[in-house]
Structure 1
Amino acid sequence: MADVVVRDLDGLAEWTAASALYRSVFGYQEPEWGLSPRLLAALGENSGTVIGAFDPGGALIGFCYGFCAVEGGEIYHYSQAAVVAASAQGTGVGRLLKQAQAVAARRTGARSMRWTFDPYALRNAHFNFTVLGAIGIRFLPDFYGAPGTDRVLVSWDLTGGARTRTPHVEGLVAPAGDRYAAPGPLDRAWLRQQLMKRFAAGGRLVAVTRPADTEDRVVYAFEDDQS
């Protein structure tokens, strides 16, 4: 990790390489799912983030991009995507990218950063909640307009202040496989409804953990929203 270089991407060659990595990591084949290098150029010039991670040989092994957004008068940075090449996953590159993105976001006046993730993907949940300390603030059913695209919107505090934790409400226990919670269709439908209810009731998701005494269950831990 000490030899990985994280910096803003610059020039058509690097923007194009980022676009290619994006398609490769997500397995996108159709042209409409591509990422325009020109969009990355525009974001870089207009308070967005277009950040890459390079291995010691100079190859691009990860990148992230995002843009400024506002809700209720508060400026935040929205991280649209962060991708890491398969060969570098699990090595900490994703954390380096998020940290660099946070630094850039603070320069624009953002006090928090947001992004969405698949709430059933356990590795992503671990990274967002346990590694970064983000909080799930909203459930977005079929976020991308198609079945199977449920997302949870998370918010990551960039101010460095200590967060006052409120007591957890009762944890939501769900069946789980190795990589995904509720892999079966009936379990998934049940979990989806339960998550929607918890968020609608004002809960905020703070952790998704696997109990020490079981391999086939996970617990979604919520706290009350005090905002």
Structure 2
Amino acid sequence: MVCPALPQMALPRTVTPEMRALVVDWLVQVHEYLGLAGDTLYLAVHLLDSYLRCSRVRLHRLQLLGMACLFVACKMEECVLPEPASLCLLGAGSFSQAELLRAERRILSRLDFRLHHPGPLLCLELLAALAGSNPQVMLLAAYFLELSLLEVEAAGWEPSRCAAAALSLARRVLHVAGSGLEPALYSPAELGPLEPCMARAVLRGPAPGRAAIFLKYARPQRRGTSLFAARLLRCPQPGPP
């Protein structure tokens, strides 16, 4: 069953946007350490937001909820599952295997097994292919898209709109000319709320509790994308003559 999009993210009173960002940042670290697929991370964050939107969560159980959402996402997206014992070790002993499995059952029950969610990564790949985007644009757009996971304002938007906003912002700051195949799925007004949100996340830089994605994209494997992304936003590259 498909997990519906969230029209507007509303956090419980006990969870602030900063607390949510801390958990998502930690999930990014766990996700990278385990070498999981990209779609697994996006599904885990979507499940986390879906649960937070309809349930009350005690603050000291927020990390457990995040790990349980990642565990459920692994069952949906991965061929080889991480062992619950390994996930508990990554949680530094803050929860047991029994607590992790109970949290998993609560998520499944509360969300009524609506677990499938079309992730934005596939949308980004399709849009980039249609637009004839080069690897640099694709990598920068992927960085913008992943940073948006930290922002509560971006939660709940359709995956295709998030992907389109990330690609549009990346193409604009790099001044990449279109190929004539660039899809016009959304107007600039429809992408308006998302692009500034992504830009603010980039300009904020590796703030405490929000550094995992910056460090991930600073590595040579991702061409140090995060190291120059903020500079590009402040001073976009000149377009071709």
Q: Same fold (TM over 0.5)?
A: no
- Per residue, is there more strand in 1 or in 2? 1
Q: Give the number of the structure with larger relative contact order, counting CA–CA contacts within 8 Å between residues 6 or more apart.
A: 2
- Per residue, is there more helix in 1 or in 2? 2
TM-score norm. by structure 2 comes to 0.25
TM-score norm. by structure 1 comes to 0.26
